[in-house]
Amino acid sequence: MSISSPVLFVILGPTGVGKTALSIELAEHLGSPVISADSRQFYKGMNIGTAAPSQKELQRVKHYFSGHLALTDYYSASQFETDVVSLLAELHKTHQAVVMSGGSMMYIDAVCKGIDDIPAVDGKLREDLQTVYAGYGIEPVLNQLKLLDPVFYQQIDVKNHKRVIHALEICLATGKPYSSLRKNEQKKRPFRIVKIGLQRPREELYERINLRTDEMMKKGLLEEARKVYPSKNLNSLNTIGYKELFKYFDGEWTLDFAIEKIKQNTRIYSRKQMSWFRRDKEIKWFHPDEVNIKLLPENHF
């Protein structure tokens, strides 16, 4: 196999489709590590609920950006871009092909396309806004964002509280509308990017999601969620699988209902992922069973 220039293979797709298995198999074939692009897997103590690579899988292939953050750490797509591009500059000195795998849409785009240089936000400001959200809900945050940046207010998904809070953080920290800082200019990378999308028929994917949720419960998701429950208001734990079980711990839901909501919310999230990914015409789509690992690199060098 002759490689003309450094390459980043990106394995992407909806949750539960089979990215982990394929990325490890491809990494072994290439002699490459795996860079995780699943923002839920960045945090320690959430292995089961985020379907993080197992110890056996971690022993097969070295992984970066898996369990490297504390639950209290703040981490953004912009920081991920900086960290991964810097890491790739080192890895490509000894690995002409590197594998990145995940389903966090904005984080993948940050590495492949670049993200606007948004100023860092003071931790106290972020904490204050999280306190407002926890105590009063999203309405006061939305109202202030509408006042400070009516342009972005018209564009944003008002149900995505993370993005709403982040936009208001930037407005307050910089004194400028968040929309004025968003240039959306694609950055050039010193490596080629090959995007491999995995997809399954909807019924097949949903069945996998339901079965995986049941398997997570058998592996101890309930106990894992109980351990982090005292920190339930942290942004890192506003995550499918945990927030539903927190409602069970709070006495709002039965356990069976919470489990069904995990399955439902995961299915909804998988649809959002596919809607996002399908806008990217650079992605080549495969059913996981159709991918020939040995031929895949040859077809793209």
Domain ranges of the chain: 7-115+186-290, 123-181
Does residue 200 contact residue 28 with C-beta atoms inside 8 Å?
no
- pLDDT for res 19: 97
Q: What is the pTM of this model?
A: 0.82
* Residue ranges in the chain whose pLDDT is less than 50: 1-2
Q: Which CATH number fits domain 123-181: 1.10.20.140, 1.10.10.60, 1.10.10.10, 2.160.20.10?
A: 1.10.20.140
CA distance to 146, 176, 250, 260, per residue, from 253 (Å): 34, 42, 8, 11
139-195 pLDDT, tens digit per residue, is 999 999 999 989 888 888 877 888 898 889 888 888 888 888 776 678 899 999 999
- pLDDT for res 173: 85
- pLDDT for res 155: 81
Q: Which CATH number fits domain 7-115+186-290: 3.30.470.20, 3.40.50.2300, 2.60.40.1180, 3.40.50.300?
A: 3.40.50.300
- pLDDT for res 300: 58
- pLDDT for res 1: 42
On the 0-12 / 13-18 / 19+ scale of CB atoms within 10 A, 14 is buried
